Each structure stands twice: as C-alpha cells, then as structure tokens.
C-alpha cells in the first residue's frame, strides 16, 4: 500500500549516543515519520537549513552545544515548529532556557512507550511539565515558564 507522502511529518533527531539514536530513529520510522538524525548541533543546523521539520527531538547535552539553545535557533529560523528535549538531567538542573525552547521534555532513561506518548501529546501543543518542588510543584504549560522560574 502506498503512503500519502504529503501527510508524512518530518522529524529531526539530534542525539549524540549512536545506539540510542538508532533506537529512537527506528521507533519514529515505525510510527510513520520521515526521520533525519545526527549527533551534533552543527549537523542539526545544516540539516534544518536544507528543509524545515515539523518536529525536532534533541538531547540537551550535545558535544558541540546545548540542545535547548539549538531548539531556540531552529525555532527562530522557522526550521522547526515543535521541539521535544531529552536529558539525563531533571528540570531542577536544567536552566530556564528549556522553558523558552521546548514544547515537551523527557528525562532519560525513558521507554519507547513514554516517548511515543510524548510525541502524540506535543502535536496538540506544549505539554504540561511537572515543576520541581523548589518552584511550587505545580503543573503548567512549558510556555508559561519565564526567566527566573527554574
């Protein structure tokens, strides 16, 4: 059966650990996404300059930069409309740039079911982020967080 390629969403996957990147790439492909992947900010910027993506899934800590800053650059250049940030660090550690750049956040390790659920949710808009107790412990959309919140 032929797929209607006009309905296929393009995803940019930026993950420095090759085995984990391959697992996520396989999961995205099986879900019907067209995936381009890389392991660095510089390569992600190059790929995004060639054609826009509907979604970027990026690791926070990359060899040549910060995934949240990468997400911000991609959004400002209109190369991507949504971003899911993934990290071993939790929101207590990650600075407020996450709030400005990310539509969703997943703390590693996570399983593929959690990953697929996050993707489904992020298409609807910014995903509720559970805030650390140090800032009130309330749920609010990531887009509501402002400088100084985290």
| Residue-level pLDDT at 125 | 78
| Residue-level pLDDT at 94 | 60
State the virtual CA torsion across 98, 99, 101, 106 in degrees, nearest 10. Answer: 60
Q: Are 142 and 150 in contact (CB under 8 A)?
A: no
Q: Would 90 be classed as within a structural domain?
A: yes
Q: Would 149 be classed as within a structural domain?
A: no
Q: Would 77 be classed as within a structural domain?
A: yes
| Residue-level pLDDT at 88 | 85
Sign of the CA dihedral 117, 119, 125, 129?
A: positive
| Residue-level pLDDT at 101 | 78
Q: Would 150 be classed as within a structural domain?
A: no
Q: Would 123 be classed as within a structural domain?
A: yes
CATH code of residue 63: 3.40.50.2300
User: What is the distance in angstroms between the CA of the first residue and the CA of the last residue of the chain?
Assistant: 48
Q: What is the 3-state secondary structure (H, E, C) of 8-44?
A: CCEEEEECCCHHHHHHHHHHHHHCCCEEEEECCHHHH
Q: Would 113 be classed as within a structural domain?
A: yes
Q: Would 51 be classed as within a structural domain?
A: yes
Q: Give the structural domain span for 52.
A: 5-144
Quote the number of domains for the chain.
Answer: 1
Q: Are 79 and 52 in contact (CB under 8 A)?
A: yes
Q: Would 44 be classed as within a structural domain?
A: yes
78: left (phi over 0), alpha (psi -120 to 50) or beta: left
Per-run averaged pLDDT (10 residues), the chain, 150 residues:
58 96 95 96 96 95 93 93 87 62 86 89 73 44 37
């Amino acid at each position: 059966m032929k797929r209607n390629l006009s309905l296929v969403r393009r995803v940019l996957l930026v993950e420095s650990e090759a085995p984990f990147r391959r697992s996520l790439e396989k999961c995205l492909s099986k879900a019907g996404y067209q995936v381009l992947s890389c392991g660095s900010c510089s390569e992600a910027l190059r790929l995004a300059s060639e054609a826009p993506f509907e979604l970027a899934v990026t690791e926070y800590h990359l060899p040549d930069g910060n995934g949240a800053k990468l997400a911000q650059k991609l959004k400002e250049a209109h190369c991507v409309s949504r971003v899911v940030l993934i990290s071993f660090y939790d929101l207590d550690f990650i600075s407020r740039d996450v709030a400005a750049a990310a539509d969703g956040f997943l703390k590693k390790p996570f399983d593929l079911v959690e990953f697929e659920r996050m993707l489904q949710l992020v298409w609807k808009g910014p995903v509720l982020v559970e805030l650390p107790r140090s800032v009130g412990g309330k749920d609010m959309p990531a887009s509501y967080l402002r400088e100084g919140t985290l």
